[in-house]
Structure 1
Amino acid sequence: MKDVDGSLAEGTASFVKKTGRDKLWQRLDKHYKRFIDPKTSLLFEDMAEYRNCIVCREDNTQTIFIKDGFTHVRCLNCGFVYVNPILKEDCFDEVYESSDFGNKWVEVLLSEDQRKFDQAKFEKGVEKINKFTKKGRILDIGCSVGHFLEIARDDGWETVGMELNKRAVEHARSLGLKVWEEKLTPNLFPKEHFEAITLWEVLEHVSEPRELLKEIHLILKDKGILLVLVPNIDSIALRIMHEKSATFGGSSHVNFFNYKTLSRLLKEEGFETVDYETIVSELGTLNNYLNYEHPYLGKGGQILDFLTPEYIHKNLLGYKLLMTVRKVKVKS
């Protein structure tokens, strides 16, 4: 896939401001303070939920950093990086269903520059799905404002979306899209109902991805396609910037995959990998950071010549990991 990087195309600071991310980030301090105990600078204990590693199920971790009161750890058994503890489910749901933070993110998604970025990303996603399955029914879980569903519908797919944010649902429905305002639960759809399902930047938000993947496996047709996009913990941007990266936001981003951990999780839940790559070089942000400027609002400068989008994606160092997998039968 050709590099899809809105910040690289016109400069990170310009992209951030035109999409409204700068205004969104100004609200984050207020957003996080609702959950953080001022005495400990950590998540309030009565709001905290502890969990084992979602990949290997072990409880053997090392803290790598604390950001905005949320502890980020690495599993010493399998290498998976995650937030522990996380917000309890009722607090987590409030963030996505009705919070000001969620509504401001919808404004970002509806900005012209963000739509251009997403257009290229989603068109390539549809092309990839078409490569591995025939057209039919497609479900986009976490469909947000419905941009992917629009593109899939225009390409001839019968589309259905699921989304929790009320404002996003209203916008998607205004486009004539069928969107369910609820989570995926057992028996919501018939078994083997969809030719394809997509998870565009969803798994990093879900406290227990295996439950979601099990339900997806049930409602996908035999050899149906699942397309997954997540932040890539092995990206060169995250390896260099660590907690300075906007990817790390403990109230919402709680899982951080690389190819090894994501492919293991998907395989154990009945999917075989048919394609994988990284997208979004994040070179503009890196350029700022390596020149001692604000990673997202800096003016940039000269960067090492070998850091090209081609080099980054050849070595799976891109900001996002895109995996296409096929449903296979689970061994009993």
Structure 2
Amino acid sequence: MNIMANNVYLKCKDYSVSGKYFELHRDINLDILITSPQPKEDELGQYYKSEDYISHTDSKRNLFEKAYHVVKGIALKRKLNLINSFNTSDKTILDVGCGTGDFLQIAKANGWNACGIEPDLDARQLAIKKVGDTVHDPSKINSLKDQSFDVITLWHVLEHLPNLDSHIENYKRLLKSNGVLIIAVPNYKSYDAQYYKTFWAAFDVPRHLWHFSQTGISKILGKQKFKIVKTLPMIFDAFYVCLLSEKYKSGKMNFFKAFQIGLRSNLKAKQSGEYSSLIYIAKNE
């Protein structure tokens, strides 16, 4: 994606790995933020090498991680209900950035022909143990057949992908003519993002290369003739993000304050629609 960044929106620190600072440049035309500088593709992996990168492990070392997995279990059931609501022919699904394979596992157990893409070797190996050899590294996606999936999902993945337009073009190729693309991403226009600003955990630089608004997602998907037919909130994300944001801001996890801000964000979003994270359901036109 060739984007001219128009101005600096914020400066943010990588709290997880490097401790480096990155700028968020605002693209006014697309209404998105762009992490700058963006790591080169062969450098991205080093920014995921942290024991705290929870989506790449199944560990339950402390109360926070145990709570994360409880909430993840609830979220998995909601995701399953969502994909089961679609009238699909063969129940074929591709989960891009499938992590340790929990969503693929529950989808497969409920009759879906599930395939996954995961760049992290350790996470991919855990996923393969759960669902078999239908989980691949990203190089495999180019060899998958055209129009082979009813549903493609990206649960908090799109913000990590370099060469954004080419990825979406590929999903267009892989989806059947009436297929569904499901994308979940953080929303930088949410109340909790405005409250925490540079400490907002969902900026997660430089792993998050792009930071989306509802307008931005609509414009980016529209380039490939995807039409957003529904937008859904991810209620729990506000509390999780606020908890990490409190840690970045004050050095400790202030559970009470995080719950207070997360609740306020969700209540405000009932009027504005600007939840901490949103699920976009787009149809292949």
* TM-score normalised according to structure 2 size: 0.82
- Kept in 1, the 8 Å contact 2:190–2:265? The answer is no
Partner of 1:300: 256
Cα distance in 2 for residues equivalent to 1:250 and 1:244: 11
1:166-206 Cα shifts (integer Å, max 9, x gaps): 11111111113334342156641111111111111111111
Cα distance in 2 for residues equivalent to 1:130 and 1:192: 19
Letter of the 1:136 partner, please give it. Answer: K
CA apart distance, 1:114? 2.2
Cα distance in 1 for residues equivalent to 2:245 and 2:93: 40
- Kept in 2, the 8 Å contact 1:159–1:178? The answer is no
Cα distance in 2 for residues equivalent to 1:78 and 1:257: 9
- Kept in 1, the 8 Å contact 2:124–2:136? The answer is yes
Q: Give the alignment partner of residue 78 of structure 1, picking from 30, 34, 41.
A: 30
Work out the number of aligned pairs and report it.
Answer: 268
| Inter-CA distance 124–313: structure 2 relative to 1 (3 Å threshold) | farther
Cα distance in 1 for residues equivalent to 2:102 and 2:255: 31
Bigger Rg, structure 1 or 2: 1
Partner of 1:12: none
Partner of 2:198: 243
Partner of 1:15: none
- Kept in 1, the 8 Å contact 2:192–2:265? The answer is no
Partner of 1:205: 160
SS at match of 1:204: helix
Letter of the 1:318 partner, please give it. Answer: Y
1:317 counterpart = 2:274? yes
* TM-score normalised according to structure 1 size: 0.72
- Kept in 1, the 8 Å contact 2:99–2:118? The answer is yes
Q: Give the alignment partner of residue 158 of structure 1, picking from 113, 118, 139.
A: 113
SS at match of 1:170: helix
Partner of 1:91: 43
CA apart distance, 1:64? 1.8
SS at match of 2:72: helix
1:120 counterpart = 2:74? yes
CA apart distance, 1:161? 0.8
CA apart distance, 1:124? 1.6
Cα distance in 1 for residues equivalent to 2:217 and 2:93: 22
Letter of the 1:170 partner, please give it. Answer: Q
* RMSD across aligned positions (CA): 2.9
Letter of the 2:32 partner, please give it. Answer: F
Q: Give the alignment partner of residue 225 of structure 2, picking from 238, 249, 270.
A: 270
Cα distance in 1 for residues equivalent to 2:150 and 2:222: 19
- Kept in 1, the 8 Å contact 2:191–2:265? The answer is no
1:27-75 Cα shifts (integer Å, max 9, x gaps): xxxxxxxxxxxxxxxxxxxxxxxxxxx4xx4414111222232111111
CA apart distance, 1:239? 1.1
Partner of 2:16: none
Q: Give the alignment partner of residue 215 of structure 1, picking from 128, 149, 170.
A: 170
1:14-35 Cα shifts (integer Å, max 9, x gaps): xxxxxxxxxxxxxxxxxxxxxx
Partner of 1:27: none
Cα distance in 2 for residues equivalent to 1:192 and 1:105: 29
- Give the unaligned 5+ runs of structure 1: 1-53
CA apart distance, 1:84? 1.9
Cα distance in 2 for residues equivalent to 1:295 and 1:128: 37
CA apart distance, 1:284? 7.6
Letter of the 2:283 partner, please give it. Answer: R
- Kept in 2, the 8 Å contact 1:140–1:197? The answer is yes
| Inter-CA distance 210–233: structure 2 relative to 1 (3 Å threshold) | same
- Kept in 2, the 8 Å contact 1:284–1:300? The answer is no
1:130 counterpart = 2:130? no
SS at match of 2:9: strand
- Kept in 1, the 8 Å contact 2:25–2:33? The answer is yes
Instruction: Within 5 Å, give how 1:164-243 maps onto structure 2.
Output: 164-183=119-138, 187-243=142-198
Name whichever structure is richer in helix by fraction. Answer: 2
| Inter-CA distance 192–106: structure 2 relative to 1 (3 Å threshold) | same
CA apart distance, 1:296? 6.2
Cα distance in 2 for residues equivalent to 1:269 and 1:176: 31
